[in-house]
Amino acid sequence: MSWKGRKVLVTGAGGFIGSHLAERLVERGARVRALVKYNSLGSWGWLDGSPLKGDMEVVLGDVRERDALKKAFRGVDTVFHLAALIGIPYSYETPQSYLRTNVEGTLNVLQLALESGSRVVHTSTSEVYGTARAVPIREDHPLQAQSPYAASKIAADKLVEAFHLSFGLQVTTVRPFNTYGPRQSARAVIPAVVAQALAGKVIRLGNLTPTRDLNFVSDTVEGFLLAARNPRAVGKTFNLGTGREVSIGDLARKVLDIMELSRRIAVTAERRRVKGSEVERLCSDAGFARRLLGWKPVVSLDEGLRRTVAWIKRNKDLYRPDIYAV
């Protein structure tokens, strides 16, 4: 289905996944309005260096401020809602800020979408499942908030569900498992490993035994696009993952093998999650997305890691490996 000429809004367009999504939409011919959080530096996040930023309408705003968002919704056909606070360790320190951005911000987006008649594709996270009770994890797996961040995203997901059931708003929830790739911040394990490996002889990590299901960013973006254009996806939630899990320790060693480097991996107390908060196992069942949307991941973990390592090497000055990014 063609995106040519479609007017779309991407909230959180300056972020990791949001910037890739905004670029892909431009490439598909959509008229992209990119919402970027205002800051005093005038930065557009990752869109600053995008060769396609001139083909987007970049709007400064904040999803927490409903009145300031109104103009961003004018004439919009589809809203991709990605704006969120995502750092799990930081959510222990400032849970209220996560509620304001992730819950109140989502409420504002839903209310404005209802007024404007826009369809919404909402971004969830595999963290809402907590540690897997059954593997692979299907969309009907129980939700368990093991961090304030996860709690805020569960609340946002339920608001989306409520607006669909109560008001008939056309919404689809996309639940990516651990997306990685170029532009990801050092809060995530792969950039943390690569940046530290380039800078020194020791890789400092938290727990090494938890497993994650890693999905390359271009595959995640394709899932968003397929969910947005399929009328049968309205009111549904879709996992996006590979169905394969890897432990943090094995992942770090795989990254080092790809980099052809020998480094010592050290576990540090600073990087450990709060007891009871660590999600020990994540492994997706994305069969629903495959059957209904025709979605499947195409980039292997090894290939995705090679692309990510190459990008971080070219942009290593953007990372501070001596600082634990929360």
Q: Which residues are catalytic?
A: 149
Question: Who's near 313: CB < 8 A, 6+ residues apart?
Answer: 194, 198
**DSSP string for 176-230:** E-EEE-TT--TTSHHHHHHHHHHH-SEEEES-S--EE-EEEHHHHHHHHHHHHH-
Q: What angle do CA 202, 244, 190 make, to 5 degrees?
A: 25
CA distance 257 to 112: 48
Smallest Cα–Cα separation from 228: which of 154, 173, 165? 173
* Residues paired with residue 59 on neighbouring β-strands, in sequence order: 35
Give the 3-state DSSP-derived string for 275-315, with helices as H, strands as E and coil as C.
CCCCCCECCECCHHHHHHHCCCCCCCHHHHHHHHHHHHHHC
CA distance 184 to 293: 26
